Amino acid sequence: MARMKFLCDADRCIECNACVTACKNEHEVPWGINRRRVVTINDGKPGERSVTMACMHCTDAPCAAVCPVNCFYTTADAVVLHSKDLCIGCGYCFYACPFGAPQYPKVGNFGSRGKMDKCTYCSGGPEPDGSLAEFEKYGTNRLAEGKLPLCAEMCSTKSLLAGDGEIIAQIYKERVVKRGYGSGAWGWKTAYRETIAS
Amino acid sequence: MIKGTAEMPKLSARLRFIVGAMALALIVAVAAPVTAQQRNPDSSVNPTASSVREDQLLNDLDRISGRCTIPDQKACTIEQPAGRDWRHFHEVTLRWIGAISILGMLALLVIFYLVRGMVRLESGRSGRVLVRFSVFERLVHWMTAACFILLAISGLNITFGRPLLLPLIGPDAFTAWSQWAKYAHNYLSFPFTLGVFTIFLMWIAWNIPNRVDVEWMKRGGGIVGHDHPPADRFNAGQKMIYWIVVLGGTAVAVSGYILMFPFYGTNIAGMQVAQVVHGVAALLFVAVMLAHIYIGTIGMEGAFEGMWDGTVDVNWAKEHHRVWLEKEIVEGHVAAPPPKGKMQPAE
């Protein structure tokens, strides 16, 4: 089985936010929740870079470790998913997550954050693949249809790569060699405890 | 007019100076990026020479933030590896603190009970009682106590439920229980906080440490042996419980409300700190309260009725709170001893 990862080539990201829009539309994500977002660092200054970030589907995921009700599970493709039926909305995953991925529909309303929502790597949840129940809670399940996450698939500059970790790392390495520079795979050290030499 | 014409050359000179300065600034600004651009060995431009780097940003700030165009500005922070440290605290450190303090306290109490046993009323019951706690005092105590027990159980469930209870009852039942426990934890915090605050006001007059407490502490409170050092309404041990409740209650209330209102004056890092304070303070609080429950029930004869019925036996007061009893007698709150051989109900 593949070990699915995301890789953002910050030297290619043009901050078009198409990944953000694609994600929201594909999964009909509720207003106020962004499973993916683009952040520009040193905006307007020399050397500014934009990075798109969502759940990185960490190795030994902190969210899964701290969840008091154990609602997270890791699929055979190493995608970190959770069950909204088991989630109690306590907020612990959101304290532990290094990437700010977990979000709640009712943040700020004490006692009832609602069920946590995050990027599913376009692979739904514990319900049967492609079922209405799955779509309503988690969005579409593209992985079950043999497709990769939509955010990466429609990235116009192919800055955002999704797929097996070794393959996308290889693509990135080849780019770095060819063009002669690369600012590294953002978040990989934190999420996967590895870096891609650049 | 004359004055005006005289100033005209001055003004134009100043204008010329400003325009000149701006032109110079423009030249410098345009030139700066050219000089900043470093070149590769083959003299091609390296566009990443001045680019931001993840490692450097994390070393400088422990987190990476920028500008984002979505309404949720909290999402502009993309990476904060501190969550890993907090995870270790929650998974390992907090569980050890909890296990050692609570199981350690339970073990101590069991050993103490086996060795010392119940602290008996050495002079027996006199049959005469005096009021120790008013209805209002008991109401506040039991409201706070009931909230505390439910808060403690629902709080311990968050830290210890997954390894201990989840395997026994299964994920669906555990989620249903934990969901209700979480609601109870959030809502009961309000009467609990009110109770702690009322306790603070209601008993502070009797809980200022004084010389009597030094003597009481020196004699170990008479807990071991048959010594009965004098004490006022509250002895030094009870005063310690009082201050632990007031200060510990404040700590758990403040840190708890920070967690209940995310992003009100905090960020993720602030909430991690609040959770650490909340968890540690609450677990130590539970351990101390176990000792309080012990001494108020099976640990000492004649103590529980003071908080339950509101009255204690005069002999109990004589042995444990002599100074207080003397004051109560002076103030006429204790009925005179009954004639010999005839028992009378207490007033």
The string of DSSP letters for B271-304 reads HHHHHHHHHHHHHHHHHHHHHHHHHHTTTBTTTH
Q: What tens-digit pLDDT sequence spans chain A (198 residues)?
A: 789 999 999 999 999 999 999 999 999 998 889 999 999 998 888 888 999 999 999 999 999 999 999 999 999 999 999 999 999 999 999 999 999 999 988 755 555 788 999 999 999 999 999 899 999 999 999 999 999 999 999 999 999 999 999 999 999 999 988 888 888 888 998 999 888 765
- Give pLDDT, residue B35: 43
Quote the crossing angle between the two packed helices B211-218 and B236-260, to the nearest 10°: 100
- Give pLDDT, residue B4: 46
Shortest distance between the Cα of B119 and any Cα of chain A, in A, equals 41
User: Which CATH number covers residue A185?
Assistant: 3.30.70.20
pLDDT grade for B27, boundaries at 50, 70 and 90: low
The Cα A163–Cα A168 span in angstroms is 6
Nearest CA in chain A to B34: A46
Shortest distance between the Cα of A133 and any Cα of chain B, in A, equals 18
Q: Is B271 on the interface with A (CB under 8 A)?
A: yes
- Give pLDDT, residue B261: 87
pLDDT of residue B34 exceeding 50:
no
Q: Which residue segment(s) compose the domain that A15 sits in?
A: 4-192
- Give pLDDT, residue B30: 53
Quote the crossing angle between the two packed helices B236-260 and B268-296, to the nearest 10°: 150
pLDDT of residue B1 exceeding 90:
no
Task: Report domain extents, chain B.
Answer: 114-222+229-330
pLDDT of residue B42 exceeding 80:
no
Reported as a single tens digit per residue, the pLDDT across B284-299 is 999 999 999 999 999 9
Shortest distance between the Cα of A55 and any Cα of chain B, in A, equals 10
Reported as a single tens digit per residue, the pLDDT across B186-238 is 999 999 999 999 999 999 999 999 999 999 998 888 777 778 899 999 999 99
Reported as a single tens digit per residue, the pLDDT across B240-259 is 999 999 999 999 999 999 99
pLDDT of residue B98 exceeding 90:
yes
Nearest CA in chain A to B33: A46
For residue A22, what is the enclosing H or E element? helix A18-27
For residue A154 the two structure tokens come to 């429609």
**Is B114-222+229-330 assigned to CATH 3.40.50.1100?**
no
Nearest CA in chain B to A64: B87
Phi, psi of A58 (to 5 degrees): -55, 155
The mean pLDDT of B167-190, rounded to a whole number, is 95
- Give pLDDT, residue B263: 84
Task: Name the 3-class secondary structure at A193.
Answer: coil
Residues of chain B with Cβ-Cβ distance to A51 below 8 Å are 66, 78
Check residue A15 and report its DSSP letter.
-
Q: Is B193 on the interface with A (CB under 8 A)?
A: no
Q: How many CB pairs under 8 A join A and B?
A: 174
pLDDT of residue B36 exceeding 60:
no
CB contact under 8 A, A41 and B272: no
pLDDT grade for B9, boundaries at 50, 70 and 90: low
- Give pLDDT, residue B287: 97
Q: Is B171 on the interface with A (CB under 8 A)?
A: yes
Length of chain B: 347
The Cα B189–Cα B252 span in angstroms is 9
Q: Which of B30-39, B55-64, B321-330 has the lowest mean pLDDT?
A: B30-39
pLDDT of residue B302 exceeding 50:
yes
Residues of chain B with Cβ-Cβ distance to A100 below 8 Å are 74-75, 77-78, 80, 268
Higher pLDDT, B45 or B272: B272
- Give pLDDT, residue B284: 96
The Cα B99–Cα B102 span in angstroms is 6
Strand residues in chain B grouped as ranges (E): 64-65, 77-79, 129-131, 311-313
Shortest distance between the Cα of B185 and any Cα of chain A, in A, equals 9
Nearest CB to A108; choose among B52, B179, B263: B263
- Give pLDDT, residue B26: 63
CA distances from B165 to A153, B89, B148, B175, B186 (A): 43, 21, 20, 11, 21
The Cα A153–Cα A162 span in angstroms is 8
- Number of domains comprising chain A: 1
CB contact under 8 A, B54 and A189: yes
Q: Which of B10-24, B168-182, B215-229, B267-281 has the lowest mean pLDDT?
A: B10-24
- Give pLDDT, residue B2: 47
Residues of chain A with Cβ-Cβ distance to B84 below 8 Å are 62, 96, 98, 190
Q: Do the domain assignments include residue A197? A: no
The Cα B294–Cα B119 span in angstroms is 11
pTM value is 0.84
Biggest distance spanned by C-alpha atoms of chain A: 53
The set of long-range contacts for A168-176, using a CB threshold of 8 Å and a minimum separation of 24, is A168/A5, A168/A7, A169/A5, A169/A7, A169/A196, A172/A7, A172/A9, A172/A196, A173/A197, A175/A9
Q: Do the domain assignments include residue A86? A: yes
Interface test with A, best of B42, B56, B70 (most A CBs within 10 A): B70
Beta-bridge partners for A82: A72
Q: Nearest Cα to A68, choosing from B163, B286, B272?
A: B163
Reported as a single tens digit per residue, the pLDDT across B121-146 is 888 899 899 999 999 999 999 999 99
CB contact under 8 A, A17 and B268: no
The mean pLDDT of B52-73, rounded to a whole number, is 84
Reported as a single tens digit per residue, the pLDDT across B321-337 is 999 999 999 998 887 76
CB B310 within 8 A of CB B132: yes
